[in-house]
């Protein structure tokens, strides 16, 4: 080996998560089932059982990691939505300040 490109792929990220949980023994299962990071984040308890992860503790750890990762993603999304919302409200207030032509009645 020794030809690491230096870029982190989804697979590496998933491996890293499993290593952090000391559950890297399950990595071949995810590889075999072609579970990438995106798919990993959608896994349920039932999915993990089907994949062959029989131990309750292991499944709990994985599910906790998944929800943590999803919460992190949710936070980013929330910040983005707030930014968009703030932009819209500031745009609307500046739009309402400019008077639309044609409001003066003709005499």
Q: Is residue 92 part of a domain?
A: no
Q: Is 91 inside any structural domain?
A: no
CATH at residue 48: 1.10.150.50
- Distance (Å, whole) CA 61 – CA 32: 20
Number of domains in the chain: 1
Domain assignment of residue 94, yes or no:
no
Structural domain range at position 49: 10-73
In a domain, 55, yes or no: yes
Query: Over the stretch 47-74, which tens digit does the pLDDT of each residue have?
Result: 999 999 999 999 999 999 999 998 887 7
Q: What is the pLDDT of residue 3?
A: 46
Residue 100 inside a domain? The answer is: no
- Residue 2: pLDDT band with limits 50, 70, 90: very low
- On whether residue 41 sits in a domain, the answer given is yes
Q: Is residue 16 part of a domain?
A: yes
pTM for this entry: 0.62
What's the rounded Cα separation, in Å, for the pair 94 and 81? 20
Measured distance CA(86)–CA(52) in Å, rounded: 46
Q: Which helix (H) or strand (E) holds 26?
A: none
Classify residue 22: in a domain, yes or no.
yes
Whether the per-residue pLDDT at 11 is higher than 70: the answer is: no
Looking at per-residue pLDDT, the higher value among 89 and 8 belongs to 89
* Position 26 pLDDT exceeds 60: yes
Q: Average pLDDT over the chain, rounded to whole?
A: 82
The predicted model gives 87-91 an average pLDDT of 77
């Amino acid at each position: 080996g020794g030809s690491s490109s230096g870029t982190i792929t989804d697979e590496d990220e998933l491996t890293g998560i499993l290593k952090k949980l000391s559950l890297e023994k399950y990595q071949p299962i995810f590889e075999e089932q072609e579970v990438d990071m995106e798919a990993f984040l959608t896994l349920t308890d039932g999915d993990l059982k089907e994949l062959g992860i029989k131990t309750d503790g292991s499944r709990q750890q994985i599910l906790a990691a998944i929800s943590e990762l999803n919460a992190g993603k949710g936070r980013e999304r929330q910040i983005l939505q707030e930014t968009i919302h703030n932009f819209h409200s500031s745009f609307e207030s500046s739009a309402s300040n400019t008077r639309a032509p044609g409001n003066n009645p003709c005499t």
